[in-house]
Structure formats: C-alpha cells, structure tokens
C-alpha cells in the first residue's frame, strides 16, 4: 500500500513540479530573446545572466525530482 502511494506521489511530484519551472523558464527565455533582438551587442551579458537565472528556476523542478527519488528509493515510511 505504501509502495503504491509512494509511486503515485512521486509521479505527481515530478509532473506537477515541472509545470511551474517550465512556465517560468519560458517567460525568462522569451524576455531574454526579446532583449537580444533589441540589443544584439548585449547578447553575451544577457545570455550569461539568462543561464544563471534558468539554473535558479530549474532548481525547483530538481527539488521535486529529488523528493520523488527519495519516495521511490529511500522511503522513510517503508520500514
């Protein structure tokens, strides 16, 4: 029972946890492309900042992944 619940919870954690970061990354990439199109000479600075920002946003999705892995492989409730 706990195994089934853990697997379902892990799937939900990853699937719903990916929505927010995906939307956020889409917005930031769109804004960065807009900025590069307006100011191509600033592309280096913008893309460097973009990468760091994307890494920050992506961390939330990675947290969900780690939570689901803990549920699947290191479940504290499975005894």
Partner 1 sequence: MMDSPLSTHLAFTLGPVPISTTVLTTWGIMAALAAAAWAVTRRLTMRPGTAQACLELVVETIQGQIHDTMHTASTLFLPLIGTLFLFILAANWSSMVPGIEPPTAKIETDAALALIVFLSVVGFGIQARGLGGYLRSFAYPNLFLVPMNLLEQFTRTFALVVRLFGNVMSGVFIIAILLSLVGLLVPVPLMALELLTGAVQAYIFAVLAMVFISGAIEEKPSDAAQQQEDTAS
> What residues make contact with partner 1 under the rule CB under 8 A?
44-45, 48, 51-52, 55, 58-59, 62-63, 65-66, 69-70, 73-74
User: Whose Cβ is closer to partner 1: residue 9's or residue 58's?
Assistant: 58
Output the CA angle 48-61-14, nearest 5 degrees. Answer: 155
**In the complex, least distance from residue 70 CB atom to partner 1, rounded to whole angstroms:** 8
User: Whose Cβ is closer to partner 1: residue 27's or residue 48's?
Assistant: 48
Structure tokens belonging to residue 27: 């917005």
Tell me the C-alpha distance between 63 and 12, whole Å. Answer: 13
**In the complex, least distance from residue 20 CB atom to partner 1, rounded to whole angstroms:** 16
Kindly report the backbone phi and psi dihedral angles of residue 19, in degrees, each rounded to the nearest multiple of 5, phi listed first. -65, -50
**In the complex, least distance from residue 22 CB atom to partner 1, rounded to whole angstroms:** 15
Check: CB of residue 36 under 8 Å from CB of residue 46: yes
Tell me the C-alpha distance between 58 and 53, whole Å. Answer: 8
User: Whose Cβ is closer to partner 1: residue 35's or residue 70's?
Assistant: 70
């Amino acid at each position: 029972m706990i195994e089934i619940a853990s697997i379902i919870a892990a799937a939900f954690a990853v699937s719903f946890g990916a929505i927010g970061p995906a939307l956020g990354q889409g917005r930031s990439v769109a804004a960065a492309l807009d900025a590069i199109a307006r100011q191509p000479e600033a592309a280096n600075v913008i893309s460097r900042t973009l990468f760091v920002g994307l890494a920050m946003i992506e961390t939330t999705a990675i947290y969900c992944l780690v939570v689901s892995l803990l549920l699947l492989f290191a479940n504290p409730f499975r005894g």
